[in-house]
Amino acid sequence: METESFISMFLLATRNFQDPQFAKKIISMMNQHPYFVPTLYDSVTPLKNIFAMTNMPDMVDTWMNIERNNRSIDQNYASGDFIARGKRKCKIDYFASWIKNQQVNFNLLSITLHIDEIIEQELFDEFMLVCTNFMNAVDPVYGEIGIEHSNNHKNNPINLRVRYPELNWISIFGKPYIELFGRDQLLSAPCYKVHEFGENIIGLQLTESICDDLSFEVRSAVKKHLGEEAFVEEGKGIRRHQVGLVPAFDFSEVLYDPSKPIVEPQILKRKR
């Protein structure tokens, strides 16, 4: 099977996604850039519904997933997915996913641009503008922008409560990480460029081009500058790490009932 390449932005947030006004805002933003307007949407694939602003009430209903969530009220659980896909000058995928229960969850928004050939600079600049706009709308605690491949696309588990994941071309640090490391320390990181995408969003761009190889030396310099105990070790999966230096995340907006305590998942042990 031929390997496909993608440029992707991946964001994790602790803000409330179970909000029809927020859903409407994010969906409307998908319609703002001519190159990247979706043509279809749904909560599952294959996508069957026409993406159009006249269908906004139905699109918000899909995001909110009200009918299914009403059936799980007694379980203190709610969730929703929204997928949109378009092909104007290029093929683009939007994916939003949220969960509310009494366990810790990070809501997700990702944008994936499929690459068939070398991307034009104008198109890439427009994509980065789209990414910046969505970052400011979502207010992520963590994120990344880089090139992925179909043979390893997002197959590495992420656990922000253990370590910060491996650094990508642009690694995004939200408010909890700014408070953890300090703004000045992030802004002085030894990398190609530092972006202040928003008041509480700092991005560290490791190399000039998104196509550049990310060497051990480049990644290591940033980790040493910020504190190696906060990051995964290169080539070592998250499950092999002890808890390192992590922020104090506020999960109140992603809990089903913020007045109740967080329920930690139980590790099932095999009976002997």
* 41 within domain boundaries: yes
User: Where is the domain boundary, 89, 112, 141?
Assistant: 141
**Over residues 153-181, mean pLDDT:** 90
Residues 64 and 111 both lie in one domain:
yes
Distance, CA of 205 to CA of 168 (rounded, Å) = 8
Higher pLDDT, residue 217 or 115? 217
Residue 221 scores a pLDDT above 90 = yes
Q: Supply the pTM of this predicted model.
A: 0.93
- pLDDT surpasses 70 at 216: yes
pLDDT at 149: 78
Q: Write out pLDDT tens, residues 92-112.
A: 999 999 999 999 999 999 999
Q: Are residues 137 and 151 in the same domain?
A: no
CA dist 55 and 118 (Å) reads 34
Q: Which residue has the higher pLDDT, 270 or 212?
A: 212
Q: Is the pLDDT of residue 271 over 50?
A: no
Strand order in the sheet with 142-149: 49-50, 40-42, 78-87, 91-100, 107-115, 5-13, 142-149, 170-173, 201-205, 193-198
User: Which burial class, exposed, middle or buried, applies to 228 when counting CB atoms under 10 A from its CB (0-12, 13-18, 19+)?
Assistant: middle
13 closest CA partner among 125, 177, 229, 167? 177
Count of Cβ atoms closer than 10 Å to residue 244 Cβ: 16
pLDDT at residue 57, rounded to an integer? 98
Considering the chain, what is the average pLDDT of its residues? 91
Per the domain annotation, does 163 fall within a domain? yes
**Residues of the domain holding 44:** 9-141
Inside any domain, residue 263:
no
> Which pLDDT belongs to residue 115?
78
- pLDDT number for residue 121: 86
Percent of the chain with pLDDT over 70: 93
